[in-house]
Each structure stands twice: as structure tokens, then as C-alpha cells.
Amino acid sequence: MDRLTEPIIEPRRELLPSGNYDMIVCGAGPAGVCAALAAARSGIRTLLVEGGGCLGGVWTSGILCMIHDVASKAGLMSELRARLERMEAIRYRFGGPNFTYDVEAMKAVLEEMCGEAGVEVRLHTRVVDAVASGGRLGAIVTESPSGREAFVADYFVDATGNGDLAARAGCRFEMGHPDSGKVQPATLMAVFSGLPESALTAERHYNRYGRVEPGVASGEKQGLLETFRSAGYFASNDAPTVFPLPHPGLYGCMFNHEFDVRCDSAEAITAATIRARKELLRAVQAVWKLPEWKELRLIVTADHIGLREGRRINGLYRLRAEDIVAGRRFDDGVCLVNFSVDVHSLEPGVYQARSFTDGIKARPYHVPYRALVSSDYANLAMAGRCISGDFYAHASYRVTGNAVAMGEAVGAAAGLARRSGRTFAELDGRLVSDEMRRRGYEL
């Protein structure tokens, strides 16, 4: 049989809209769920589109298990914590406010909250195209078990993490280090049981002294690295991390790095996922020869490898390294970031703390509303790590505690914009900042 060699031309087809909404949120990770919740609770008819099989993104299918930069976050973050507490599915790290959580409880809580708010959820649905005219988005095109469909809305939110919707719409973006173009490494998260007490240096220190002194956490990572090497396992991540989960005997683990895996290459993501899963199994088998580690078991690996970096979509304001170094506050600030500049190794064999940050240190700073609004389409906003910023700013604001605040801000903005007949770009960001303060956020 002869194989096709000429270009394949897809047949032209017309799609009648399968749904008409006030707002469509693409991506149901922390930012997307919170954007949808805030909008729906403001009376906005909202569709939440997700390519995976559950809500939560990196929290659930990525089994991140840990939420950073919770301090100063109220609103939906406070509600989420309260619901997890009622389910006994949360454990505060070193006295809080950052915490670990039970993944299955998180899935249930997010589904419950979206159901109560009236958010229409479409799982197993991937955005494959966007339709725009006159400087505004008009519709998205999706592929799912239902086939190819179109959905129409007045407002759109890209909360895909990698800026997939914006890219489909032709928005301008940046990706990677400004000099090398390399992106931060990916990690396949895992849950283990049977870790020996000796591996949990920081936890033991906190339990004894009620605090964790500087250097204790990094000492724990170095101790793990040396233990692995003594067993003949050389971790690709030079700063391996473990943390106890809410249920006794279970630990979230971050042992591997997959370098320069770009979000726009399915081939690279697939290869990285397979390599990372093999490495985790190899780690377990290697340390079994050590008496203290013979009970170590790999319980589950993530469905999706965690990409720390993707596209950074151009916005009305680009958050820069100078802003975070100065601890800059903005009139339209919607999120107070307390997290450090966290650049993981961009290449093998170089410890992340000694390179790549270029000496840049963050002071608490604002993410301005303008950084969440596309500079290409007036009715498109971003939430999460795909907002407008440079490489170093992104390395600070990218963690999921901040994604929650950004998502809630965008959802609140949709309500304000709808009531006043404005687009995201036309809305005065100071109104969004005021609304976030009203919700209890510390700005």
C-alpha cells in the first residue's frame, strides 16, 4: 500500500456554536478553577474547559501535593483550606500557612465548589483553535469525545499554564531564559511510603524546636542527595525534596529534573515523562540495598509531568525583575507575592542555588491587574504562570498560591466588567484591587 506523501488538506467545515456563555475559562488548574468560581458567583454564566479528567491541574493530575505562597491570600484560598480541614485532608508545613493536602480530597472539593457555584464544566475537552475579529476573541474551537465543537463568549481567560489559548489566537509571547532560551526543568511528582525518619531532617527539627533554622531544609536536601549517591542512584535533581502528606506514612517527593522540555512539543513532553517515571522506579530499587530504606515504596506517579515554565503572554504591563527586586506596589495590585526567585537548574549537574538567579532577590511585591490582561485582545485575560512577565519575575510568581489569587482577580474583574459594559482592557484595575481587598486579600 502506498503511503500519502503530499500535504494533507483538512476539509472545510462550519460549526454551529454548541454553547453561548458570558465567559469561557480554558484550563481547570488552580488559576482556572478560581477564575471560574469568582465569575460564576458574580452572576457570570461560565464555562470551564479542561483537557484532563479532573479539576485541579497540577494540584491533582500533577499531584503537586504542596501549596506555596499562601500568606496574604484570603478569599477562595481561605475557603479551600476550611473545606480541606473539615475533611482532615490538610497538613500545615512547619506551622503554616503553606500546606500539603490529600489529592483525592482536593478533586472532590473543587468539583463540589464548582457545582455549588453553577460553573459548567467540560472535562476531556481540549482547545484547538480560537476565532477572533476586531481585536476581540469571539469563540474557541475544541476537540473532545463529542467531536469538534465551537463555544462563544464575551470574555475569555487563558489559565492553561502554558498559554495555549493565547497561542492559538496568535497572541505575542515570550518563553525561556532571555539569553539561552532554555526553560526551567520539568518534574514528575510522586507519592512514596516507607521513608525512614532520618530522611526528614527539617520535620524533626521543627517538631523539636518549633521552627526551622536557616540551612536546615537545604541540609535535608543535601543529605538525601548523598544517601542516593551512596546507593548508586544519581538524582537528576540536585535538590531532592520530600514532605509529609496529611495521611500518616505518605510523602510527596520531588526527585527528578527533565531539562529544557518545551510546552509546545508533545514529543519532548512524552519522552521526558517516560524518562522521569523510569528514574523514580530506579531510585526505589537503588536505595533498597540500604537497611533504613528497604521499606520505601512508590505509591503513585503523576498523570502529567509538571512543567515549571511555558509561554508568558504579552500583557498591558510586563512584570520585570526590577519590580520584584524593589518590592514594587501598584495601584491596580491584585496579588501580593512573597515567594522568592526560584530558578531550578537549567542544565544537568549545576545546583540551582548557585546559578541562574543572577543574584536577583525578590521583596514582597504586587502583581498588577494589567499583567493579567492581553495586549492583543481586549476581552482576553490570563491567570497563573502564563501572565505577562520576564523570566525572573515568572520564577517568583509562578507558584500556585499566587495562581489562586490571580484567578480570583480575573473572575472578579469579569463581574465588574460585565456590569459596566466594559472589556478586561477597558476596566479600571483599581476597582479589581479594591474588590480583592474587600475579599480579605492583603495587598
Place of cell 485532608: 89
> For residues 341, 342, 347 and 353, what is the CA-based torsion angle, rounded to 10 degrees?
90
Burial category of 375 from C-beta neighbours within 10 Å (exposed 0-12, middle 13-18, buried 19 and up): middle
Count of Cβ atoms closer than 10 Å to residue 133 Cβ? 8
17-178+309-438: CATH number:
3.50.50.60
**Residue written as cell 537497611?**
291
- Local confidence band at 219 (pLDDT 50, 70, 90 cut-offs): confident
Mean pLDDT to the nearest integer, 391-396: 97
Rounding to the nearest 10 degrees, give the CA dihedral for residues 169, 173, 175, 178.
170
Average the pLDDT over 36-62 and give the result.
99
The position carrying cell 504542596 is: 66
Give the model confidence (pLDDT) of 164-216 as tens digits. Answer: 999 999 999 999 999 999 999 999 999 999 999 988 888 877 777 777 777 77
Residue corresponding to grid cell 516507607: 194
Separation between Cα atoms, residue 335 and residue 318, nearest integer Å: 15
Query: 95: pLDDT confidence band, cut at 50, 70 and 90?
Result: confident
Q: Per-residue pLDDT for 391 more than 90?
A: yes
Domain extents in the chain: 17-178+309-438, 190-301
Q: Which residue has the cell 480530597?
A: 105
CB burial readout 233-250, b (16+ within 10 A) else e:
bebbbbbbbbbbbbeeeb
For residue 157, pLDDT beyond 60: yes
pLDDT computed for residue 300 by the predictor: 98
Q: Give start and end residues of each alpha helix (H) in 301-376.
A: 321-326
Residues 358, 395: contact at Cβ < 8 Å?
no
Beta strands 365-368; 297-301: pairing state:
unpaired
Q: Which three cell numbers stand for residue 6?
A: 503530499
What is the torsion angle, in degrees rounded to the nearest 10, for the CA atoms of residue 82, residue 84, residue 85 and residue 91? -120
Q: What is the pLDDT of residue 4?
A: 84
pLDDT reading at 359 higher than 90? no
Cβ neighbours of residue 95 closer than 8 Å, sequence gap 6 or more:
206, 210
Question: What gap in Å lies between CA 256 and CA 41, rounded to an integer?
Answer: 40
pLDDT reported for residue 61: 98
Q: Which three cell numbers stand for residue 370?
A: 494589567
247: three-class secondary structure by DSSP: coil
* Residue 336 grid cell: 501580593
Residue 196 phi/psi, 5-degree rounding, is -75, 155
pLDDT of residue 187: 98
Alpha carbon 177 to chain centroid distance? 19
- Give percent of the chain with pLDDT exceeding 90: 86
Which residues have C-beta within 8 Å of that of residue 133, sequence separation ≥ 6? Answer: none
- pLDDT value of residue 356: 62
Over the stretch 108-117, which tens digit does the pLDDT of each residue have? 999 999 999 9
What average pLDDT does this structure show over 304-332? 98
Ramachandran region, residue 33 (left: φ > 0; alpha: ψ -120 to 50; beta: rest): alpha
Place of cell 531539562: 259
Q: Average pLDDT, whole number, for the chain?
A: 95
- Classify residue 54 by its DSSP letter: S
| pLDDT > 80? residue 415 | yes
Q: Are 29 and 106 in contact (CB under 8 A)?
A: no
* pLDDT for residue 170: 98
